[in-house]
């Protein structure tokens, strides 16, 4: 690397490191909701991306309403819109489970088809309600721009925001799953549905809330992603492949695996991308995944559930 | 075996059709004064008082974002033509089909419009991929397509009139401008990974290296739909180019500009010239993320000439005050008017005659919102290139306008 000073290289190294961590937090936030649904319930939710879009559109709506009616609230609305996105997407997920998914638990492959149909329905609804054009909420000024750590290092504020949100969500999910009594019931249901029912756990209720929680987290992810990209009816499809990749590579039933997988994919992708072109970086990342999955079909961290 | 006999049969049928077609053509020419051509003289859906055309854009799917404006403009033009008396005394009827952002669907719907509906002309397609898919159908069925998008060039079909700019028209003058005005020597090229950005960048690179004597310090393509630009932005930072030259499209476009801003790269520190941002895209990107960056287009909504003022007013009346008009939307608006001029010159709706009239090089529109355009015998338009600087409100200020540029779809020395 001739012609560059050590300061410059150091700065680039720091910013590149952050780019990787930023991609990691995006991937993890996308995958968390899916990992809960896929891992705990065995439902392949093809409409995951559309629940993210629901969160993004909620943010857009709140942004527009705030701008029109209470402009003074603009700098703060974003935090509330994330909570609202969680509630809206969660409610939609609750309804979807109630109307559609619960009838298909005994036919796991049919849930794949049913949720794919659901995703098409949701896409077309967005198109009819919000129009085919992409929209972006007006973001508060403090969220945009960069934080100049030194003269040469600029850290994107939205990246830090997404990172913070991801850490918060991950910790919350871990607390829910492994420390709360509700999490205990979810895990019990996953391990042995009949037995869990026999000891008095309402497994149907557990399913419904698990699904709603997964969709709600997807909604939060969607809200957070309005800071880095735009929202259109088909936005969800942009994310769904990466999301599944993270969950499958991590090992379906393991939340820890999801984190590890998001981290390794993100670092591999962003480091490769720095040295070769974006398309080739993606090819190499995917090739590596395929090869690893050939030897470890269960993913990085196979679940230790008795079958 | 069966292939051969099929071939022969269709050959024979075609000859017969052609022979039949020649007969009424003579009648039309003879009776041009009264325009009382026989109702179905050309085998097309033409009656004594109506003529049917097709509109073929994506109303659903990922491209609907971009193609909405184009089909709105085409409908506006057709409405205005009808209000002013139609074409050859006939009102235009529209059959609209949805390409659904799926290239084979474009081919299938083209066939439906040409074979079943027998439309006299089709206004449609947006991406190069959809045009390439529909092209064989138009050539086989001898249809007529008005294609509105600026595109990579290297094509000239008898059955297509290209109302947007081909690559050299859009690219070269903009590069000259930035080299002269900003003293730019080093360029970083970045685009989405498909035919249009790659061809455009190839032309840009040749021009930068061979004509401007500048240097390309990086060339990068991102997969379509990719929303992560962190690593690319760091690479650009390391190379410190005078100009970032961008052709990123679709959802990626929004992510690219949002992340540029988030990384602290703005127009105060960096000159950025893009060939893929129109007013339509700005809606999604947000004017505040683009402020001070430049686009090269042939049309901007803010252009202050009487034609455009009237056009913008009519467009907003028909499609709502919130609507914005981008380059392709305006080019789509030209389609029906160019067709009208060619049909009236030919005195018939017959495709061969209309194409012949179009190829004489004297069809011009003085009423075009972009100013003035003239149809070149090579099926493309003479037009000007403009550089617009984006403002916070999502409109561009035109800072440079070129002379009228001759279209050159097969540029020598750039391939």
pLDDT digits (tens, 9 = 90+) for B253-272: 888 998 898 888 999 989 99
pLDDT of residue B36 exceeding 50: no
Which residue in chain B is spatially nearest to A9 when comparing CA positions? B238
The percentage of chain A sitting over the pLDDT mark of 70, rounded to a whole number, equals: 96
Query: Higher-confidence residue: B238 or B27?
Result: B238
Q: Which residue has the tokens 């957070």?
A: A224
The band of B201, judged by pLDDT with boundaries at 50, 70 and 90, is very high
Distance CA B149, CA B69 (A): 12
The band of B11, judged by pLDDT with boundaries at 50, 70 and 90, is very low
Q: What is the pLDDT of residue B27?
A: 44
Q: How far is B363 from chain A (nearest CA, A)?
A: 34
Q: What is the pLDDT of residue A133?
A: 75
Query: Higher-confidence residue: A106 or A56?
Result: A56
Arithmetic mean of pLDDT, B151-163: 94
Arithmetic mean of pLDDT, B315-327: 93
Q: Pull the structure tokens for residue A38.
A: 């896929």
**Angle, CA B66 vertex, CA A56 and CA A240 arms, to 5°:** 40
pLDDT of residue A275 exceeding 80: yes
Q: What is the pLDDT of residue A10?
A: 83
Residue A165 CB neighbours (<10 A): 19
Q: Do A230 and B285 touch (CB under 8 A)?
A: yes
pLDDT of residue B37 exceeding 80: no
pLDDT digits (tens, 9 = 90+) for B43-98: 788 988 999 999 999 987 777 777 889 999 999 999 999 999 999 999 999 999 99
Provide the 3-class DSSP secondary structure of residue B141. coil
pLDDT digits (tens, 9 = 90+) for A115-168: 999 999 999 899 889 887 778 888 888 887 788 877 778 888 988 999 999 999
Q: What is the pLDDT of residue B284?
A: 78
Given CB atoms, is B218 within the 8 Å cutoff of chain A?
Answer: no
The band of A3, judged by pLDDT with boundaries at 50, 70 and 90, is low
Q: What is the pLDDT of residue B26?
A: 44
Least confident segment among B80-84, B280-284, B293-297, B354-358: B280-284
pLDDT digits (tens, 9 = 90+) for A188-229: 988 888 899 999 999 899 999 999 999 999 999 999 988 888
Q: What is the pLDDT of residue B347?
A: 94
Query: Higher-confidence residue: A237 or A304?
Result: A237
pLDDT digits (tens, 9 = 90+) for B112-121: 999 999 999 9
Does an H or E element contain B8, and which? Answer: helix B2-30
The band of B300, judged by pLDDT with boundaries at 50, 70 and 90, is very high
Please, are residues A49 and A238 in contact by the beta-carbon 8 Å criterion? yes
Q: How far is B284 from chain A (nearest CA, A)?
A: 5
Q: What is the pLDDT of residue A303?
A: 57
Q: How far is B174 from chain A (nearest CA, A)?
A: 26
Arithmetic mean of pLDDT, B381-404: 95
Q: Which residues of B touch A127 (CB under 8 A)?
A: 60, 64
How many CB pairs below 8 Å do chains A and B form together? 132
Which 8-state DSSP code applies to residue B90?
A: B
Which residue in chain A is spatially nearest to B221 when comparing CA positions? A278
Q: Which residues of A touch B222 (CB under 8 A)?
A: 278-279
Q: How far is A15 from chain B (nearest CA, A)?
A: 7
Please, are residues B219 and B205 in contact by the beta-carbon 8 Å criterion? yes
Among the partner residues B64, B222, B227, nearest to A127 by beta-carbon distance: B64
Q: Which residue has the tokens 């022979």?
A: B19
Q: Do B263 and A154 touch (CB under 8 A)?
A: yes
Q: Which residues of B touch A146 (CB under 8 A)?
A: 262-264
Query: Higher-confidence residue: B41 or B308?
Result: B308
Given CB atoms, is B94 within the 8 Å cutoff of chain A?
Answer: no
| Domain range annotation of chain A | 10-240
Q: How far is B67 from chain A (nearest CA, A)?
A: 9
Q: What is the pLDDT of residue B100?
A: 86
**All domains in chain B, ordered by first residue:** 2-165+307-382 (3.40.50.2300), 167-297+386-401 (3.40.50.2300)
Calculate the average pLDDT of chain A: 88
pLDDT of residue B15 exceeding 60: no
> How far, in Å, are A40, A50, A91, B234, B328 from residue A209 at the CA level?
12, 18, 10, 42, 47
Q: What is the pLDDT of residue A50?
A: 95
pLDDT of residue B17 exceeding 80: no
Computed on alpha carbons and rounded to an integer, the radius of gyration of chain B in Å comes to 22
pLDDT of residue B367 exceeding 60: yes
Q: Do A148 and B280 touch (CB under 8 A)?
A: no
Among the partner residues A19, A233, A278, nearest to B234 by beta-carbon distance: A19
Which residue in chain B is spatially nearest to A24 when comparing CA positions? B228
> How far, in Å, are A239, B162, B194 from residue B275 at the CA level?
26, 18, 14
Whether the model clears a pTM of 0.95, i.e. scores above it, the answer is no
């Amino acid at each position: 690397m001739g012609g560059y000073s050590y300061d410059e290289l150091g700065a680039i190294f720091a910013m590149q490191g952050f780019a990787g961590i930023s991609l990691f937090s995006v991937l993890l936030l996308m995958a968390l909701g899916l990992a809960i649904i896929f891992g705990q319930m065995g439902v392949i939710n093809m409409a995951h991306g559309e629940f993210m879009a629901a969160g993004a559109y909620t943010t857009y709506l709140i942004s527009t309403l705030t701008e029109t009616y209470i402009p003074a609230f603009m700098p703060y609305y974003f935090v509330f819109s994330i909570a609202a996105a969680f509630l809206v997407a969660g409610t939609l997920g609750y309804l979807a489970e109630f109307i559609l998914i619960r009838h298909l638990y005994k036919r796991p492959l049919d849930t794949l088809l049913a949720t794919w149909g659901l995703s098409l329905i949701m896409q077309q609804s967005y198109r009819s309600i919000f129009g085919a054009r992409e929209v972006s909420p007006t973001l508060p000024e403090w969220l945009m721009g960069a934080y100049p750590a030194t003269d040469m290092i600029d850290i994107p504020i939205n990246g830090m925001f997404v990172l913070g949100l991801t850490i918060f969500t991950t910790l919350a999910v871990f607390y829910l799953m492994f420390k709360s009594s509700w999490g205990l019931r979810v895990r019990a249901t996953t391990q042995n549905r009949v037995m869990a029912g026999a000891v008095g756990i309402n497994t149907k209720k557990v399913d419904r809330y698990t699904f709603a929680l997964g969709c709600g987290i997807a909604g939060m992810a969607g809200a957070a992603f309005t800071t880095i990209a735009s929202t259109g009816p088909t936005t969800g499809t942009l994310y769904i492949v990466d999301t599944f990749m993270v969950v499958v590579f991590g090992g379906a039933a393991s939340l820890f695996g999801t984190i590890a997988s998001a981290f390794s994919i993100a670092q591999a992708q962003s480091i490769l991308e720095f040295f070769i072109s974006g398309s080739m970086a993606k090819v190499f990342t995917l090739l590596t995944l395929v090869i690893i999955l050939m030897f470890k079909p269960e993913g990085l961290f196979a679940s230790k559930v008795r079958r | 075996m069966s292939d051969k006999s099929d071939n022969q049969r269709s050959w024979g049928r075609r000859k017969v059709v052609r022979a039949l077609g020649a007969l009424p053509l003579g009648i039309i020419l003879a009776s041009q004064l009264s325009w009382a051509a026989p109702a179905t003289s050309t085998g097309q859906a033409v009656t004594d008082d109506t003529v049917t055309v097709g509109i073929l854009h994506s109303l659903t799917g990922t491209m609907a974002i971009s193609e909405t404006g184009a089909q709105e403009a085409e409908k506006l033009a057709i409405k205005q033509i009808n209000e002013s008396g139609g074409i050859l005394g006939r009102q235009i009827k529209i059959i609209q089909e949805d390409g659904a952002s799926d290239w084979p669907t474009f081919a299938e719907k083209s066939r439906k419009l040409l074979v079943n509906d027998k439309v006299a002309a089709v206004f449609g397609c947006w991406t190069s991929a959809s045009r390439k898919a529909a092209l064989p159908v138009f050539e086989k069925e001898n249809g007529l397509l008005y294609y509105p998008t600026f595109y990579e060039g290297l094509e000239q079909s008898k059955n297509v009139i290209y109302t947007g700019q081909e690559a050299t028209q859009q690219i070269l003058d903009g590069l000259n401008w930035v080299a002269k005005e900003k003293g730019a020597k080093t360029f970083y090229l970045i685009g989405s990974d498909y035919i249009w950005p790659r061809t455009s960048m190839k032309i840009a690179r040749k021009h930068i290296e061979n004509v401007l004597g500048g240097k390309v310090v990086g060339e990068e393509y991102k997969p379509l739909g990719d929303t992560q630009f962190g690593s690319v932005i760091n690479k650009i930072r390391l190379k410190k180019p005078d100009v970032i030259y961008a052709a990123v499209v679709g959802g990626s476009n929004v992510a690219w500009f949002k992340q540029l801003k988030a990384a602290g790269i703005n127009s105060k520190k960096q000159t950025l010239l893009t060939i893929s941002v129109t007013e339509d895209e700005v809606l999604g990107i947000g004017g505040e993320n683009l402020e001070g960056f430049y686009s090269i287009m042939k049309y901007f909504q803010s252009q202050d000439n009487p034609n455009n003022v009237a056009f913008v007013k009519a467009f907003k009346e028909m499609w709502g005050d919130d609507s914005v008009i981008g380059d392709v939307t305006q080019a789509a608006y030209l389609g029906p008017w160019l067709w009208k001029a060619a049909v009236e010159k030919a005195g018939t709706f017959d495709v061969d005659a209309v194409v012949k009239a179009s190829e004489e090089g004297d069809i011009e529109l003085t009423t075009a919102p972009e100013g003035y355009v003239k149809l070149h015998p090579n099926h493309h338009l003479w037009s000007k290139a403009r550089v617009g600087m984006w403002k916070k409100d999502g409109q561009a200020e035109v800072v440079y306008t070129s002379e009228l540029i001759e279209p050159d779809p097969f540029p020598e020395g750039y391939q």
